[in-house]
Structure 1
Amino acid sequence: MPRFTRSLLFSLCTAIVTAGSLFVAGPSTAHAKTETPKAIYKVDTKQKVVALTFDISWGNKVPEPVLDVLKKEKVTKATFFLSGPWTLRHPEIAKQIKNMGFEIGNHGNLHKDFSNYPDSWIREQVAISEKSIQQVTGVKTKLIRTPNGDFNPRVIRCLNNMGYTVIQWNTDSLDWMNPGTQNIIQRVTKRAVPGDIILMHASDSSKQIVDALPQVITQLRKDGYQFVTVSELLSGAKVSSTTVH
């Protein structure tokens, strides 16, 4: 084979391999830039601030006493995650939450694990609850706590695409298990850290939260903590988040 022909073939082979390498590298590089979906459970801060959060999806016996405690203890900053059906069944309580200046987030429509359903179902359910909450309170929600705290990367990505930030918790009061008033107080006050998001419930299933809440508030204040909403927490400090694999 003439030297010129061999040289030409070598050049062509080199070009093909190089082009192939560039083609493969493209998607890999793009994938590396894709952010892993995350759910927020606390923020990194040295300030002694925490967010008290309350999920409500059932009943009308506990929500108002919880609001009474917050008013009596002069807590003006907290975040309530409301389910759509509950909001429609108890509009006056939902309006009271709004009128007291508390932040309102979305807790979904049907109380089912989002990860068991396709994106279309998730979008439909969240849209229904969003509409219900806005209809009653005038608030268009941007924060969501999924039912049962259930999620996976696909669920978070779907919710993010809807404009939602997924909020979890770092300290779980376990109040829904009704473990005893003192156990609830101890769990919250001993586990709370600066930048914490604290999970509690104002549903009727949480039968001991009304008795525990005043002491939780008092002890956290003694420990130097101030109360803020989740949005204030997120805007005031670097976000520390759970990465879902």
Structure 2
Amino acid sequence: MMMVRKAAIVAASMLMVLAFVSMNDDVSHFLASLKYKEVKTASAQVSYSQSERERLLSLINAEAEKRNIPPVNARIDRVWRAIPGYNGLEVDVEKTLEAALLAPPAETIPYIYKEVEPEIKLNDLGPHPIYRGNPNKKMISLMINVAWGNEYIDSILNTLKKDKVKATFFLDGSWLNKNAEIAKRIQAEGHEMSNHAYTHPDMSALNRQAQHSQIAKTEALLKSTLNVNNKWFAPPSGAFNQATVQIAEEMGLKTVLWTIDTIDWQKPPADTIIRKIAQKIEPGALILMHPTSSTRDALAGIIATAKEKGYAIGTVSETLSSKRLKAAVEAAQ
């Protein structure tokens, strides 16, 4: 009897093993069929995406021709002399296609743009003075020429900081030599530092060697004191000749004048300066000022007036750059 019972147990065990193997075989086949279906589904999706890609690509290419904005070349103007170029806008077809494929079908195509630089840039124009930025770029700059007036610099910096504005300070070399700590504070607050000669001379009255020395000494100080890689030279009192512009060019500097002069050294009332700016402000304007009491009192009003009229305020480098304003790029998208 015991032998029969053992034989039955062994037989039952064998049946269970065979059933398990059989079941696992079915499971394996089932899982394999799922994987096959997944592959087939993925293939269908790839096929669908390719079809959609071709359709969207055709639409995007056709629309891009209407949306693209050509760049504006830098040029020489009879009045304003060297005028910087302005980047164009072009639909980035590949990135737009990628974004369109990821977007829900009901949504419009999200066009993505890239900037296109002009063929002729400011540096291609040679030695010419610059009085303003490109008229297509709604940005202005505050140029603050510093050779005296330390007592007002603190208030001016506080206003610029409060209103989140960066200016370009053109430093007289002899002033920088005596006031390195003030210059470092100006720089630390994010303002651009540039060259205003060494002893505030009439550059047009100097010979070539003396002009070179005036620019070179201040350039060396900007580098040694502030580690500045400078781009610009502003001749004191706006006095220069072609030799001045040529010498600056040889040093890798462009000669910058101004579009609007506050004449703050004559100590006009603040409201007079603000009204003048309101009347004369235009895209690309470079506004000349100094660390005077008039500028201290008018600065907040100048900034408010520019912003109310929709102008961005940047450094000279930003205003004279061919780069488009971020808002202009976003508006196109």
Given that 2:135 and 2:282 are in contact with CA atoms closer than 8 Å, whether structure 1 keeps it comes out as no
Question: In structure 2, do the counterparts of structure 1 residues 37 and 134 end up closer, same or farther at CA, with 3 Å as the change threshold?
Answer: closer
Deviation at 1:49, TM superposition (A): 0.7
TM-score norm. by structure 2 comes to: 0.58
Cα deviations by residue, 1:35-91 (Å, 9 ceiling, x for unpaired): 77411011223232101110000132011211111011121x211101111112111
Match status 1:70 vs 2:160: yes
CA distance in 1, matches of 2:158, 2:263: 21
Given that 1:172 and 1:187 are in contact with CA atoms closer than 8 Å, whether structure 2 keeps it comes out as no
Given that 1:64 and 1:93 are in contact with CA atoms closer than 8 Å, whether structure 2 keeps it comes out as no
1:44 aligned residue: 134
CA distance in 2, matches of 1:157, 1:173: 27
| Counterpart pick for 2:174 among 75, 85, 97 | 85
CA distance in 1, matches of 2:137, 2:319: 10
What residue ranges of structure 2 are gaps of 5+ in the alignment?
1-124, 325-333
Question: In structure 2, do the counterparts of structure 1 residues 179 and 67 end up closer, same or farther at CA, with 3 Å as the change threshold?
Answer: same
Matches within 5 A, 1:14-53: 37-53=127-143
Given that 2:133 and 2:320 are in contact with CA atoms closer than 8 Å, whether structure 1 keeps it comes out as yes
Deviation at 1:228, TM superposition (A): 1.2
CA distance in 2, matches of 1:235, 1:174: 26
1:230 aligned residue: 316
Matches within 5 A, 1:178-189: 178-189=267-278
Given that 2:142 and 2:168 are in contact with CA atoms closer than 8 Å, whether structure 1 keeps it comes out as yes
Q: Secondary structure at the match of 1:176?
A: helix
Given that 1:84 and 1:107 are in contact with CA atoms closer than 8 Å, whether structure 2 keeps it comes out as yes
Match status 1:132 vs 2:218: no
Could you list the structure 1 runs, at least 4 aligned residues long, displaced by more than 3 angstroms after superposition. Answer: none
Match status 1:163 vs 2:249: no
Q: Secondary structure at the match of 1:74?
A: coil
Residue type of the partner of 2:209? S
CA distance in 1, matches of 2:316, 2:220: 21
Structure ranking higher in strand proportion: 1
CA distance in 2, matches of 1:193, 1:111: 29
CA distance in 2, matches of 1:83, 1:115: 17
Q: Secondary structure at the match of 2:288?
A: strand
Structure ranking higher in helix proportion: 2
Larger-gyration structure (1/2): 2
Given that 2:134 and 2:320 are in contact with CA atoms closer than 8 Å, whether structure 1 keeps it comes out as no
TM-score norm. by structure 1 comes to: 0.77
Larger RCO (CA within 8 A; separation ≥ 6): 1
1:199 aligned residue: 288
CA distance in 2, matches of 1:141, 1:37: 16
Q: Secondary structure at the match of 2:133?
A: strand
Given that 1:39 and 1:156 are in contact with CA atoms closer than 8 Å, whether structure 2 keeps it comes out as yes
CA distance in 1, matches of 2:220, 2:231: 12
Cα deviations by residue, 1:107-159 (Å, 9 ceiling, x for unpaired): 01011111111111111111111122222211132211011111111221121
